Amino acid sequence: MTRAQYINLGRSGLKVSRLILGTWYLPTLPELDSYGVRRINEEATLRLWRKAVDMGVNTIDTANRYHGAIAPVPVTHVGYVERLLGRFLKTVDRDSLVIATKVRFRMGNGPNDEGLSRKHILKAVKDSLERLQTGYIDLYQAHGPDPSTPLEETMRTLDYLVKEGLVHYVGCSNFQAWMVSEALAVSQRLGLVEFVSVQPLYNMLQRDAEKELFPLVREKGLGVICYSPLAQGLLAGRYLGGRAQDARASYSPSVNPLLTERNLQIVEQLAVMAKEKGVTLAQLSLAWLLHQPEVTAPIIGATKPEQLEENLQALEVKLSAEDLKRINEILERHPQQ
């Protein structure tokens, strides 16, 4: 059985598994709840997480806002995934795991129920700790920028959380490079805790992070834990030859914009290459990410145990210079618009 490998998160001493387990979408049941949202298959989810941990995955990424089955998440459902993860953490050695969660998006209907203000972060962290049934969060990430709050206020609050021991490391997600740079400068100027990692969208089809974020990452030694590494299933071949009935596109609108002629052509060509190499398309796609020097660890999504196993085997896939050149040629034939 393939076991996960470990790597330092940026310049920090924290060791994360080279594949991180995501919790945005979870195994679901066919029926809808009274709000019209697909219900989570809790038992299947707990089994999936257990399997990941048993296979050596030590890092789990979540967010206070995740519900697990629909986007955008109704405010009535926020916190659901953290609560389920809290139940899971009671069944494992919590201290051996790295739990990453996030704050930023709307958690209620009031004016202070979202954002990166001191007031919202202090409430959000308390709520996340309660839902997760843990005394600390390993990596607390700003889920996105909040232009209405001064960065100084946000970084001072995060610094306070670290000093209190409630949070061990801090990072950010969906920040443009200049925002990360500004945040690092604020921390340095005021002697506050600094972001150790960024969490951008990054995969073979969506490579914006390479333009400005990755040069900054190299300069500052930031960790990169990238999300949607399989473009929500496209790079696993989930949409080759139509849509499977149980695929994410059948219940989430977030996949549709990805189903373009360009993307499907790339995926077809990559699938041919994967077959020739004797690996699956998902494994080729994850191995490509693992070969990018800036990438610390892709955050994988899986709704089935077979997907999880297949994806973890990507850790064993070696890509030669020739393989990487061939992939590059395929991608360059279809540049991102």
Residue numbers at the binding site for ligand NAP (CB under 6 A):
22-25, 61, 143, 173-174, 199, 227-233, 236, 238, 247-248, 282, 299-303, 307, 310-311
- Report d(CA 93, CA 112) in Å as an integer: 35
Q: In the complex with ligand NAP, which residue's Cβ is closer, 157 or 206?
A: 206
> What is the nearest approach in angstroms of ligand NAP to the Cβ of residue 228?
4
Residue 140: beta bridge partners?
A: 101, 170
Q: In the complex with ligand NAP, which residue's Cβ is closer, 129 or 233?
A: 233
> What is the nearest approach in angstroms of ligand NAP to the Cβ of residue 227?
3
Residues 6 or more apart in contact with residue 192 via CB below 8 angstroms: 155, 156, 158, 159, 186
Asked if residue 232 lies in contact with residue 254, where contact means CB atoms within 8 angstroms, the answer is: yes
Catalytic residue flag (residue 202): no
- Report d(CA 268, CA 132) in Å as an integer: 41
Q: In the complex with ligand NAP, which residue's Cβ is closer, 61 or 194?
A: 61
> What is the nearest approach in angstroms of ligand NAP to the Cβ of residue 334?
19
Residues 6 or more apart in contact with residue 26 via CB below 8 angstroms: 40, 41, 45, 48, 68, 69, 81, 84, 303
Q: Rg (Cα) of the chain, in Å, rounded?
A: 19
Q: In the complex with ligand NAP, which residue's Cβ is closer, 31 or 322?
A: 31
Residue 170: beta bridge partners?
A: 140, 195
Residue in 25, 35, 66, 136 annotated catalytic: 66
- Report d(CA 288, CA 128) in Å as an integer: 34
- Report d(CA 251, CA 26) in Å as an integer: 12
- Report d(CA 41, CA 30) in Å as an integer: 9
> What is the nearest approach in angstroms of ligand NAP to the Cβ of residue 238?
5
Residue from 232, 173, 234 nearest 25 by CA: 232
Which token pair is 89? Answer: 């953490």
Q: In the complex with ligand NAP, which residue's Cβ is closer, 134 or 173?
A: 173
> What is the nearest approach in angstroms of ligand NAP to the Cβ of residue 181?
19
- Report d(CA 274, CA 302) in Å as an integer: 20
Q: In the complex with ligand NAP, which residue's Cβ is closer, 10 or 229?
A: 229
Phi/psi at 173 (nearest 5 deg)?
A: -135, 145
> What is the nearest approach in angstroms of ligand NAP to the Cβ of residue 301?
2
SS3 78: coil
Asked if residue 249 lies in contact with residue 243, where contact means CB atoms within 8 angstroms, the answer is: yes
What residues are labeled active site?
66
